[in-house]
Amino acid sequence: MSDSAFWRELGQQLRVDSIRSSDAAASGHPTSSMSAADLIAVLMANHLHYDFDKPDDPRNDHLIFSKGHASPLYYSFLKAAGAITDDELLTFRKLGSRLEGHPTPVLPWVDVATGSLGQGLPIGVGVALAGKRLDQLPYRVWVLCGDSEFAEGSIWEAFEHAAFNGLDNLTAIIDVNRLGQTRETMHGWDLRSYADRARAFGWHAIEIDGHDVDAIDRAYTEAAEAHDRPTVIVAKTKKGKGASEVEDKEGKHGKPLSDPKKAIEELGGERSLTVSVAKPTGNAEPHRIEAGDVSWPQWGPDDEVATRRAYGDALAALGSERTDVVALDGEVSNSTYSELFAKAHPDRYFEMFIAEQQLVAGAVGLQVRHYRPFASTFAAFFSRAYDFVRMAAISRAHMCLAGSHAGVAIGEDGPSQMALEDLAIFRAIHTSTVLYPSDPNQAAALVRAMADYPGIAYMRTSRGATPTIYGPDDAFEIGGSAVLRSSDEDQVTLIGAGVTLHEALKAADELSAQGVAARVIDLYSIKPVDEETVRQAAADTGAIITVEDHWPEGGLGDAVLAALAEVENVRVHKLAVTGMPGSGKPTELLHEFGIDADAIVAAAQDLVRTPAGAK
């Protein structure tokens, strides 16, 4: 059998197996798989370099299904490659199966979870950046995209960054099957509309018939030979190709075929072809960066320093200590202070400009290659990339995010720049860690701690300078807290973090002068939260004030309440920002929104005065 004939047969097998697996699951997206079957057949048979026995081989190519709903095709590809059995193929979408509705890294060959469209390509940019700038290995990154997902702006962030960085190791393949979930896409089969956009963004673009295996083969060869720029292959295909029940028909998205038997017959029946996918060659090892001198930053009791500054100093030091640490920023590195890392380690700094989705996707891509990314921007602007963070959790990604300029304490810039929801949204990420340091030595210690902590770690840093209250050798654990004022006579507990911790300390002094003993807890680890210390405070004082520069929902106060859910005999009063702020000086705004020392004192007096049981 000629190569072309084999590729065509293989494509038919991938279609048949996509139909069979979806039929066994009684759900799934066979038609979206069938359109791209020839593209994947030729790729695996003649272009992909991958050792399925060693998914961690650094020389492996990366294949990302940005159109994650084509999972039947992906799993059929794994079967054809000999990575999974036919029996496992038919467990698709069943409880406990590794073959989930959309691919996740539960399978060792899957780099990242997809299924939220427009994410695979920007993550692929991150992997390609790792290959080009860090690993300096010749692996290629192949990303299969759907045409519908080109409506997502994140795709164009990826196009911009791939071209700007000259990622000729990246190939995007667009499966232009014309049909979305409910209707034709904006561009139908107008291949030129995609190619023109891509070329305007600086890519090499090739338009082909996505069912012509020889044209596909030539396009991959051309893509691999392209220099200085990424390549996009714009492939005209038919959704449901080869099965008369569904081919190029509307209303056939995301459901199994009603007559799979007939379709399989039309496709020439079941096959059991296997492909020995080419293994990567050469002895290449990832490029090693040498560790440099480390001088860990420290601050004395007289220093007033913003935690964002401490973040930058610590990150730069960490970069000297650990050569796997890399940093990315959304063009605000002089605000987040990631610029200190950029200056110390320019080869490991990635400027992602004002493209927060690509910022987070880049971090996810870099951690695929086992780098430890720290991505930073204003805390408010991580909300722009929240779906990417959500999906990163499903990808079981390990990465660190740092958001500066939190809360009304930023002052004059106004509400668009004030993160008042970041604690809530990061707490609601599976496996997340949420840190909010209150002093520079603590911030620095937590930067080091988060680098090794599994999952997605988020640090909220403050814009304004705050006093240094800890020593450089004080230890801070993720999941811990610090009790700063404590006595046997405590009548009330004040819990804050970051800027409000300092207000709580002032309030405790004032309360003390008024004859009220107040415990003060620095709850720098919002998630996981130090339940033991919080519960002890509840048992000891029975009255707790939480104070946070955040909306009342989902932040520090709610973390405390959750720790006390099953505890009786404690009253908690939450102080948080309840009105929409405008501009003003930081101290003015802390006062106006009732989260400064005055407000804490008033609330504590009120809580202490009110007899237990009165509310």
Active site residues: 356
- Choose, by CB under 8 A, the member of 86, 304, 412, 477 that binds a copy of itself: 412
Instruction: Kindly state whether residue 551 participates in binding a copy of itself, applying the rule CB under 8 A.
Output: yes
In the complex, the smallest distance separating the C-beta of residue 72 from a copy of itself, rounded to whole angstroms, is 12
Q: Binding string to a copy of itself for residues 150 to 179, with x set by CB under 8 A, is what?
A: -xxxxxxx--x---x---------------
- Choose, by CB under 8 A, the member of 567, 594, 598, 605 that binds a copy of itself: 567
C-alpha 16/C-alpha 176 separation (Å) is: 20
Sign of the alpha-carbon dihedral angle for 327, 388, 255, 39 = negative
Instruction: Kindly state whether residue 293 participates in binding a copy of itself, applying the rule CB under 8 A.
Output: no
Packing angle, helices 3-25 and 37-46, rounded to 10: 130
Alpha-carbon distance values, 511 to 32, 272, 490 (Å)? 66, 78, 11
In the complex, the smallest distance separating the C-beta of residue 26 from a copy of itself, rounded to whole angstroms, is 8
Separation of CA 11 from chain center: 33
- Choose, by CB under 8 A, the member of 37, 45, 317, 355 that binds a copy of itself: 355
Amino acid identity, residue 146? G
Site for a copy of itself in 502-531 (CB under 8 A): 527
- Choose, by CB under 8 A, the member of 331, 531, 540, 598 that binds a copy of itself: 331
What is the chain's percent helix, strand, coil content, to nearest 5?
A: 40, 15, 45
Burial call 422-461: b when 16+ CB within 10 Å, e when fewer: bbbbbbebeebbbbbbbbbbbbbbbbbbbbebebbbbbbb
Window of 232-240, 304-312, 314-322, 558-566 that interacts with a copy of itself by CB under 8 A: 558-566
Bridge partners of residue 174, in order along the sequence: 145, 234
Within 13 A of 139's CA, how many CA atoms are on the CB side? Answer: 31
Site for a copy of itself in 80-139 (CB under 8 A): 93-97, 99-102, 104, 106, 113-118
Window of 210-218, 286-294, 307-315, 351-359 that interacts with a copy of itself by CB under 8 A: 351-359
Measure the CA dihedral 502/508/511/513, to 10°.
-100
3-class secondary structure per residue, 115-170: CCCCCHHHHHHHHHHHHHHHHCCCCCEEEEEECHHHHCHHHHHHHHHHHHCCCCCE
Instruction: Kindly state whether residue 391 participates in binding a copy of itself, applying the rule CB under 8 A.
Output: yes
In the complex, the smallest distance separating the C-beta of residue 141 from a copy of itself, rounded to whole angstroms, is 19
Window of 46-54, 197-205, 213-221, 237-245 that interacts with a copy of itself by CB under 8 A: 197-205
In the complex, the smallest distance separating the C-beta of residue 529 from a copy of itself, rounded to whole angstroms, is 10
Q: Which is nearer to a copy of itself, 490 or 548 (CB)?
A: 548
Alpha-carbon distance values, 161 to 126, 154, 350, 351, 518 (Å)? 9, 11, 11, 10, 53
Binding residues with a copy of itself: total (CB under 8 A): 113
In the complex, the smallest distance separating the C-beta of residue 376 from a copy of itself, rounded to whole angstroms, is 12
Instruction: Kindly state whether residue 381 participates in binding a copy of itself, applying the rule CB under 8 A.
Output: yes
Window of 124-132, 147-155, 312-320, 594-602 that interacts with a copy of itself by CB under 8 A: 147-155
- Choose, by CB under 8 A, the member of 204, 369, 372, 571 that binds a copy of itself: 571
**Is the CB of residue 320 less than 8 Å from the CB of residue 292?**
yes
Q: Which is nearer to a copy of itself, 186 or 475 (CB)?
A: 186
- Choose, by CB under 8 A, the member of 6, 9, 24, 27 that binds a copy of itself: 27
232 phi, psi to nearest 5 deg = -115, 135
Instruction: Kindly state whether residue 569 participates in binding a copy of itself, applying the rule CB under 8 A.
Output: yes
Window of 131-139, 309-317, 510-518, 566-574 that interacts with a copy of itself by CB under 8 A: 566-574
- Choose, by CB under 8 A, the member of 314, 325, 589, 597 that binds a copy of itself: 589
Measure the CA dihedral 234/360/331/444, to 10°.
-160
Using alpha carbons only, give the angle 486, 489, 491 rounded to the nearest 5 degrees.
90
**Is the CB of residue 452 less than 8 Å from the CB of residue 399?**
no
Amino acid identity, residue 435? L
For 12, the token pair is 């038919």
Q: Which is nearer to a copy of itself, 286 or 414 (CB)?
A: 414
Sign of the alpha-carbon dihedral angle for 367, 331, 447, 119 = negative
Site for a copy of itself in 39-78 (CB under 8 A): 68
- Choose, by CB under 8 A, the member of 9, 324, 588, 598 that binds a copy of itself: 588
Instruction: Kindly state whether residue 227 participates in binding a copy of itself, applying the rule CB under 8 A.
Output: no
Site for a copy of itself in 242-281 (CB under 8 A): none
Among candidate residues 14, 125, 111, 120, the one with its CA nearest the CA of residue 72: 14
For 91, the token pair is 């467990």
Within 13 A of 338's CA, how many CA atoms are on the CB side? Answer: 28
C-alpha 450/C-alpha 374 separation (Å) is: 10
In the complex, the smallest distance separating the C-beta of residue 152 from a copy of itself, rounded to whole angstroms, is 6
Instruction: Kindly state whether residue 612 participates in binding a copy of itself, applying the rule CB under 8 A.
Output: yes
In the complex, the smallest distance separating the C-beta of residue 246 from a copy of itself, rounded to whole angstroms, is 16
Q: Kindly report the number of other CB atoms within 10 A of residue 421's CB atom.
A: 18
**By CB neighbour count within 10 A (0-12 exposed, 13-18 middle, 19+ buried), where does 199 fall?**
middle
Using alpha carbons only, give the angle 422, 427, 431 rounded to the nearest 5 degrees.
130
Instruction: Kindly state whether residue 387 participates in binding a copy of itself, applying the rule CB under 8 A.
Output: yes
Instruction: Kindly state whether residue 79 participates in binding a copy of itself, applying the rule CB under 8 A.
Output: no
**Is the CB of residue 159 less than 8 Å from the CB of residue 201?**
yes
Window of 1-9, 56-64, 333-341, 458-466 that interacts with a copy of itself by CB under 8 A: 333-341
Window of 38-46, 233-241, 267-275, 546-554 that interacts with a copy of itself by CB under 8 A: 546-554
For 346, the token pair is 């320019």
- Choose, by CB under 8 A, the member of 197, 460, 485, 519 that binds a copy of itself: 197
- Choose, by CB under 8 A, the member of 12, 185, 525, 541 that binds a copy of itself: 185
Amino acid identity, residue 212? D
In the complex, the smallest distance separating the C-beta of residue 580 from a copy of itself, rounded to whole angstroms, is 6
Site for a copy of itself in 416-455 (CB under 8 A): 416-417, 420-421, 424-425, 427-431
In the complex, the smallest distance separating the C-beta of residue 330 from a copy of itself, rounded to whole angstroms, is 9
Q: Which is nearer to a copy of itself, 289 or 567 (CB)?
A: 567
In the complex, the smallest distance separating the C-beta of residue 470 from a copy of itself, rounded to whole angstroms, is 28
